[in-house]
Structure 1
Amino acid sequence: MASTPGRTTEGSRPGAYRWYVLGLLTLTSAFSVADRLVFSILLQDIKAAFSLTDTELGLLGGAAFSIIYVIAGFPAARLADRSTRKTIVAAAISFWSLMTAGCGLATGFWTLFLARTGVGVGEGCSGPSSQSLVADYFTRAELAKAMGFLTIGASMGTAGGLLIGGQLAEIFDWRWAFVLMGLPGVVLGAIIYVTMREAPRGRYAPAGTDMAQRPLGETIRSLATNRVFTGLALGWAVQIMIGYALAFWMAPVMLRTFGISTGDVGLYLGLTFFLGGIPGPILGGYVTQWLCLRDERWRAWLPGVTSLGCLIPLALSLTSESFGAFLGWFGLAYAIYVASQAGIMSGIQAAVEPASRGFAVATALFFNNLIGQALSLFVIGAMSDALTPMQGESALAIAMFGVSLAAGIASLAIFVWTARQMGPSGYLEKMRGG
């Protein structure tokens, strides 16, 4: 393939530095999820401190974060598509880390709500820039593998938020847990700003690709008419309802089911997230890469299959009376679930122009947070409150699985439809008119 000036061909690759960049971005993802989900291990303490209902907890965990997250994401994505992305990531992680620490100063529902919106502002700015950078440091053939490693950050963050947050709450209290979880992110932001180099935009784009950012209206129209992108984005938004249900509500389920301490829940659940969440994305990335060399449609088929596949061990976990069986089946369910992320993320990056990658990610994350986080966490909390008079402490687990089952079935249908839009090969060129 001929290269245009300043463009790197598929056959030439940067050196080991790209893995350093991927490592920093993976740590950024880990801090993002840890600061977002440390809230879940502190739910029971916060509920008792402010006399909140599960519905209010669902709003704090979902809507308070997600509404501002999606509002901040779009302007940050437009900026990411034309300016220095590493600076955006460094500033974003520093800001949301300070706001996480600020959650520890809350005096009630509304002050905590406002602090959570601040966390959403920062995190909404980092995702588009991070994924766009990865796409310019790794070739299209390697992109699924790279995104698989990036997904490890979410697993590390989920485990760290629960494990470290739980131990901090046990040693100190829930307020200090927020403060001590938040401040280290400021240090990582400084490291990113000082040591990370900006990659040439569109380094691996086909020769002749227009690298200029399109007007906003044209960008929106191109994404809206790109059936592969819209299918992957919508399928991801519905499927991630399962992920948020697991990450946010499993700790309260354990506390209510087994009557153990917050520290023990954070320790055991955090380790389970870690043991399931590290091999799952790596294996998913390699499997997706191997399958896509044979048929591009596996970027959609594999997420569809895993969306339903993870529900079987999840059902076995939630109905287990043994604590060990509960954790074992849950670890398997989570590993299967996160194996799907590499295909979705790499498919989105491959299906759009380099100059609109950041905005494409922001659009996908808009639906992720609106449907996957804000809607699902609120619905699960409301269902739990409604079922509690009849089901008692089991109400939350029933509500959680019911929403996950509906999401698994719906996302499978969407991903199957998306695969039909791709064709066996060359869908990237078809979507771009090549």
Structure 2
Amino acid sequence: MKIKSGSASGGVYRYYVLVMLMLTFMFNIADRLVMSIVIEDIKAEFVLSDTQIGLLAGTAFTVFYLILGVPAGRLADRANRRTMVAVSLSLWSLMSALCGAALGFWTLLLARLGVGVGEAGGGPPSVSIITDYFAPHELSRAMGIFAVGAVLGPVLGYAAGGLVAEAYGWRWTFVILGLPGVLLGIILYLTVREPKRGRFYPQDAQKTGADKQQPFMITMRSLWSNSVFVRVVLANSFTNIPSFAFAIWLAPTLIRNFDVTQGEVGVYLGAVLFAGGVPGMILGGYLADFLARKNPRWRPYYCALAVLMVLPFWTFCLLSASLEMTLALYICGYVLLVSTQGAAISMVQSAVLPTERGTASSISSLSINLLGYGIGPALIGLMSDNWADTYGSLSLNYAVIATVVVSLTMASFLFWWTGKAVNAELGPALAPA
């Protein structure tokens, strides 16, 4: 198959689009994780258990995300993707702001459900747009820049959230961090252009009708039979379980185990995530593209190696008696883990047809959020509550450690297994095995 070559039209403009979508991703993550920095305040005001907090922080968001994720992906494969992103961003930002008006557990649960409704429609069209602005040989680095939003989101949620919460309380934190996303949605709608769908896909595949969306069951069978897609989705899902576990539970763990305030924890975590995450995302994407020029199997093999190296850092950081050592070990593991995200996203997008990209992205996000948000936080909270009598304040640490060990071991194996399905003859592009 002959891959279309050349840069996407628009030159510098495509990087403007990339930055706008990266900022959208930033608000996506910030609106999910802002609750982490105010967990202790909410828990005290509403008298909640760790299990209930896990449901609010993860499961509540995930319920509608799971229900609407695939339909949103299908819509992204035939509708105007720019409009989808703008509307979704405005909706979830508004619902996040409304969390500040909660009267108790159930009203906060409903607001968090609304955040999930909006965010279900943001990711699939975003990555599909980027895939049509950047050629296959530069897609990992583009996705790496896009994934910087996953770093800046926690920075915004932790650093800004912690300082705002300390100054104005947890309710105003949701309002102040939520409403700017509505404005960004309007700007995105007015300034981002919809690209031609599938413009870099192999020419011979386009001639066979690969530019037309197939019925749902045909698309699902195609994805299910795609070895690269199935394996990388599973691998990245297990990779993100401990990532989300730390994102939600690290702040309250530090507050419980060390003599630090909300504002201090927010600033510390924000600085750590920014210093490690931004270079990790970008350099990881460039490194994956460089290695893939010699052999495309190096994309998943690199991910397998990096994820395995995270394991000791994130295990021992929760056993350290020093705040400084905890943060140092965390950042080492964080750099390695986030460096895999550009390659993982690009593999999902490159392995499927242009008219399957939104659906593929939604299934990938569904799997990540089901395991990472829907099950992980609540399970960790449940383990923490059950182990509290035995381990005291360290019960949360051990619950997170158990999750890290199991998840990252599975992720490393699955990325290695993905490499066995990659066709080395396709150069930097990936195709179904």
TM category, shorter: over 0.9
Greater alpha carbon shift after TM alignment, 318-327 vs 224-233: 318-327
Q: CA deviation at 1:314?
A: 1.6
Q: CA deviation at 1:431?
A: 4.1
CA 1:229–1:327: 2 relative to 1, 3 Å = same
CA 1:207–1:258: 2 relative to 1, 3 Å = same
Cα distance in 2 for partners of 1:62, 1:205 equals 36
Cα distance in 1 for partners of 2:350, 2:157 equals 31
Cα distance in 2 for partners of 1:409, 1:177 equals 36
Residue aligning to 1:30? 26
Residue aligning to 1:10? 5
Cα distance in 2 for partners of 1:386, 1:416 equals 35
TM-score normalised by length of structure 2: 0.96
**Conservation of the 8 A alpha-carbon contact between 2:300 and 2:418:** yes
Residue identity opposite 2:118 in structure 1: G
Q: CA deviation at 1:184?
A: 0.2
**Conservation of the 8 A alpha-carbon contact between 1:104 and 1:178:** yes
Unaligned runs of 5+ in 2: none
Cα distance in 2 for partners of 1:430, 1:279 equals 25
**Conservation of the 8 A alpha-carbon contact between 2:295 and 2:427:** no
**Conservation of the 8 A alpha-carbon contact between 2:295 and 2:424:** yes
**Conservation of the 8 A alpha-carbon contact between 1:202 and 1:211:** yes
Q: CA deviation at 1:414?
A: 1.4
Cα distance in 1 for partners of 2:392, 2:203 equals 62
Any idea what the Cα deviations from partners look like across 1:277-313, whole Å, max 9, x if unmatched? 1111011101100011111112211222222211222
CA 1:26–1:34: 2 relative to 1, 3 Å = same
Residue identity opposite 2:409 in structure 1: I
Cα distance in 2 for partners of 1:87, 1:160 equals 25
Q: Does 1:303 align with 2:299?
A: no
Residue aligning to 2:187? 191
Q: Does 1:136 align with 2:132?
A: yes
**Conservation of the 8 A alpha-carbon contact between 1:77 and 1:128:** yes
Unaligned runs of 5+ in 1: 4-8
Q: CA deviation at 1:173?
A: 0.4
Residue identity opposite 2:160 in structure 1: I
Residue identity opposite 1:36 in structure 2: R
Residue aligning to 1:115? 111
Find the residue that maps to 1:347 and give its secondary structure: helix
Cα distance in 2 for partners of 1:363, 1:427 equals 26
Residue aligning to 2:333? 333
Q: CA deviation at 1:315?
A: 2.4
**Conservation of the 8 A alpha-carbon contact between 2:54 and 2:378:** yes
Cα distance in 2 for partners of 1:95, 1:75 equals 17
Find the residue that maps to 1:425 and give its secondary structure: helix
- Tell me the matched-pair count: 428
CA 1:378–1:124: 2 relative to 1, 3 Å = same
Residue aligning to 1:321? 321
Cα distance in 2 for partners of 1:345, 1:85 equals 18
How large is the RMSD of aligned CA atoms in angstroms?
A: 1.5
Q: CA deviation at 1:2?
A: 7.5
Q: CA deviation at 1:427?
A: 8.3
Residue aligning to 1:171? 167
Q: CA deviation at 1:13?
A: 3.1
Cα distance in 1 for partners of 2:404, 2:375 equals 12
Residue identity opposite 1:275 in structure 2: A
**Conservation of the 8 A alpha-carbon contact between 2:231 and 2:414:** yes
Residue aligning to 2:217? 217
Residue aligning to 1:63? 59
**Conservation of the 8 A alpha-carbon contact between 1:352 and 1:432:** yes
Residue aligning to 1:239? 239
Residue identity opposite 1:319 in structure 2: L
Residue aligning to 2:380? 380
**Conservation of the 8 A alpha-carbon contact between 2:314 and 2:333:** yes
The one of 138, 143, 149 equivalent to 2:145 is: 149
**Conservation of the 8 A alpha-carbon contact between 1:298 and 1:343:** no
Q: Does 1:19 align with 2:15?
A: yes
Residue aligning to 2:269? 269
Greater alpha carbon shift after TM alignment, 97-106 vs 305-314: 305-314
Q: CA deviation at 1:430?
A: 8.3
Greater alpha carbon shift after TM alignment, 368-377 vs 167-176: 368-377
CA 1:389–1:135: 2 relative to 1, 3 Å = same
Greater alpha carbon shift after TM alignment, 159-168 vs 10-19: 10-19
**Conservation of the 8 A alpha-carbon contact between 1:350 and 1:428:** no
Cα distance in 2 for partners of 1:404, 1:430 equals 29
Q: CA deviation at 1:316?
A: 2.9
Q: CA deviation at 1:74?
A: 1.5
Cα distance in 2 for partners of 1:56, 1:267 equals 26
TM-score normalised by length of structure 1: 0.96
CA 1:142–1:428: 2 relative to 1, 3 Å = closer
**Conservation of the 8 A alpha-carbon contact between 1:309 and 1:336:** yes
